[in-house]
């Protein structure tokens, strides 16, 4: 295999998720992941600092897309309308591979306390990215923080529903994340 063959990062993620599902996170080594992906260990470490980071591949890009969508929302958009713009932008980055590995990824995270911890940190990071983008728009901090947290919940709920739905390839993640945000907006209004 060529040293710099395209798609190595994606192959590493799929290989890791498959191995974590088959034999558990703790029993899986970086060498096994690299071998399954058809790359060397050094190629693995060019893409990821350790095996735990495989499951949050793309987190920085996702945070950036959320923030960009919020920043580019119309000036008169409410905080949740700006979050919706961020969710639309971020959802566009999630393609067939994300949907394909989602059930296996969910199982791997559920089976490992370390991966659950990393997943929780990812949620905190995504909420911070949205909160900061909203604050930069002039939204007061408490409102921005609440809207950011609702955005994370909407993304997670929408992603779960999208990944569990029929895989005919016609529906987009944005439909699910925006529907989840609307449900959460309605639910929060009923809190009184």
Describe the chain by its helix, strand, coil percentages, rounded to 5: 75, 0, 25
Q: In this predicted model, what pLDDT tens digit does every residue of 172-192 receive, in sequence order? A: 899 999 999 999 999 988 887
For the cut 90, the answer to whether the pLDDT of residue 87 exceeds it is yes
Q: Per-residue pLDDT averaged across 121-137, rounded?
A: 95
CA–CA gap between residue 70 and residue 140 (Å, rounded): 15
pLDDT value for 168: 63
Q: Which residue has the tokens 């799929």?
A: 14
Q: In this predicted model, what pLDDT tens digit does every residue of 97-119 receive, in sequence order? A: 788 888 888 888 888 888 888 88
For the cut 70, the answer to whether the pLDDT of residue 91 exceeds it is yes
User: Is the distance from CB of 44 to CB of 18 less than 8 angstroms?
Assistant: no
Q: Per-residue pLDDT averaged across 42-56, rounded?
A: 86
CA–CA gap between residue 20 and residue 105 (Å, rounded): 8
Q: Model pTM?
A: 0.82
pLDDT value for 165: 83
Give the residue from 69, 59, 74 showing the smallest Cα distance to 181: 69
Q: How many CB atoms lie within 10 A of CB 150?
A: 21
For the cut 90, the answer to whether the pLDDT of residue 148 exceeds it is yes
User: Is the distance from CB of 18 to CB of 104 less than 8 angstroms?
Assistant: yes
């Amino acid at each position: 295999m060529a040293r710099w063959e395209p798609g190595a990062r994606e192959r590493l993620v799929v290989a890791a998720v498959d191995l974590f599902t088959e034999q558990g996170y703790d029993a899986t080594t970086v060498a096994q992941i690299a071998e399954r992906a058809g790359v060397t260990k050094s190629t693995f470490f060019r893409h990821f600092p350790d095996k735990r980071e495989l499951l949050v591949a793309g987190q920085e890009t996702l945070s950036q897309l959320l923030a960009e969508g919020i920043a580019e929302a119309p000036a008169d958009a409410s905080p949740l309308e700006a979050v919706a713009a961020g969710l639309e932008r971020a959802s566009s980055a999630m393609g067939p591979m994300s949907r394909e590995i989602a059930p296996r990824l969910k199982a791997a995270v559920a089976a490992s306390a370390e991966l659950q911890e990393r997943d929780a940190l990812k949620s905190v990071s995504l909420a911070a990215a949205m909160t900061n983008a909203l604050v930069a728009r002039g939204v007061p901090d408490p409102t921005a923080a609440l809207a950011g947290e609702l955005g994370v919940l909407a993304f997670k709920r929408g992603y779960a529903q999208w990944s569990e739905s029929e895989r005919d390839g016609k529906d987009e993640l944005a439909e699910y994340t925006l529907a989840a945000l609307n449900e959460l907006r309605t639910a929060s209004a009923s809190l009184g």
